[in-house]
């Protein structure tokens, strides 16, 4: 898929910026004495200040639930959750530091990414969201409380990559999400996801 080529190109650019991030971190060795906000600064090169990503391949992480944060970071760290870059990064942090960063990011606001979208598709997407996704991604995908990741206002390229990872099996869906996603694919095909992503790009419920 064209998206995969785009992803590779974008990640290539990220890796270059990551090496400068890693260099800065080298100079300031991470001790358990480092504050959560100091630790979190090392993420800003890709995830933006306080987790408000300017994209496109890195998701916004400010405002996500501390539980979800810890789950994905541990998933990256053990390699259970496949990633292009985050496994290497997550391995550099102790469990205690991951917990502290999760608390830090959960207290930051989730900043809705400014993106263009098609209003007609967004309207259809809202209906599809209610039918297939709302149960676990509450309040139009804005809620962090269900520990399933914020969808509304997330960068669309990231949503595309993530969804194709789920569909290819590189990232495992929970059984129940898989059921809904398969129903959506069967009834609406790729156009269903296109509508959903236009809805999430709209940034409003
Ligand atoms: C070089 C760029 C880069 C840096 C630096 C980086 N990330 Fe990431 N992050 C990514 C990318 C890209 C993804 C998407 C998963 C992947 O392909 O690795 C991601 C995904 C994530 C996710 C999953 C978000 C979700 O919605 O599921 C979390 C959490 C996260 N990063 C936390 C961090 C933290 C904490 C740091 C700093 C300690 C950090 N990242 C540093 C690029 C980066
Ligand atoms: C039965 C509950 C459930 C349903 C229904 C569900 N999801 Fe999820 N979703 C989850 C959970 C739990 C996670 C986080 C953990 C994981 O990856 O399994 C998640 C994660 C995601 C992520 C990754 C978020 C991130 O930040 O990386 C995306 C994208 C997503 N879901 C999209 C959807 C879409 C689109 C629908 C509707 C077609 C949907 N989900 C329906 C439970 C659900």
Dihedral sign computed on CA atoms, order 90, 81, 98, 16:
positive
Q: Long-range contacts made by residues 136-140, C-beta under 8 angstroms, separation at least 24?
A: 136/176, 136/177, 139/205, 140/199, 140/204, 140/205
pLDDT at 205: 86
Nearest residue to 100 (alpha-carbon basis) of 69, 128, 145, 63? 69
| Atom number in ligand 2 closest to CA 64 | 26
Pocket test for ligand 2, best of 57, 136, 184, 198 (most atoms within 8 A of CB): 136
pLDDT at 153: 97
Structure tokens at 25: 């971190």
Judge contact between 195 and 188, C-beta under 8 A: yes
Ligand nearest to the CA of 46: 1
pLDDT at 161: 93
pLDDT at 31: 55
**Exposed/middle/buried for residue 85 (C-beta within 10 Å: 0-12, 13-18, 19+):** middle
In whole angstroms, give the CA distance from residue 104 to residue 76. 19
Residue nearest to atom 10 of ligand 1 (CA): 58
Pocket test for ligand 2, best of 83, 110, 137 (most atoms within 8 A of CB): 137
Residue nearest to atom 5 of ligand 1 (CA): 43
pLDDT < 70 stretches in the chain: 1-32
pLDDT at 55: 77
Judge contact between 39 and 85, C-beta under 8 A: no
Cα 151 from chain centroid (whole Å): 8
Cis peptide bond upstream of 56, omega within 30: yes
pLDDT at 32: 61
Q: Which residues line ligand 2 (CB under 6 A)?
A: 59, 132-133, 135-137, 148-149, 151, 159, 162-163, 173-174, 176-177, 180-181, 184, 196
pLDDT at 10: 52
């Amino acid at each position: 898929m064209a998206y995969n080529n785009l992803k590779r190109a974008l990640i290539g650019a990220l890796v270059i910026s990551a090496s400068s991030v890693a260099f800065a971190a080298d100079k300031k060795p991470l001790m358990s004495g480092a504050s959560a906000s100091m630790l979190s600064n090392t993420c800003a090169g890709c995830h933006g200040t306080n987790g408000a990503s300017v994209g496109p391949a890195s998701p916004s992480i400010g405002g996500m639930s501390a539980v979800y944060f810890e789950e994905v970071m541990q998933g990256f760290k053990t390699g259970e959750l496949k990633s292009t870059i985050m496994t290497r990064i997550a391995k550099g942090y102790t469990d205690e530091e991951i917990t502290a960063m999760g608390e830090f990011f959960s207290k930051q606001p989730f900043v809705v990414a400014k993106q263009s979208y098609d209003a007609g598709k967004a309207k259809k997407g809202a209906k599809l969201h209610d039918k297939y996704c709302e149960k676990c991604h509450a309040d139009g995908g804005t809620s962090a409380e269900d520990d399933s990741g914020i969808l509304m206002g997330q960068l669309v390229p990231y949503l595309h990559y993530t969804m194709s990872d789920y569909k290819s099996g590189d990232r495992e869906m929970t059984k129940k999400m898989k059921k809904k996603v398969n129903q959506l694919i069967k009834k609406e095909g790729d156009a269903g996801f296109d509508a959903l992503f236009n809805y999430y790009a709209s940034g409003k419920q």
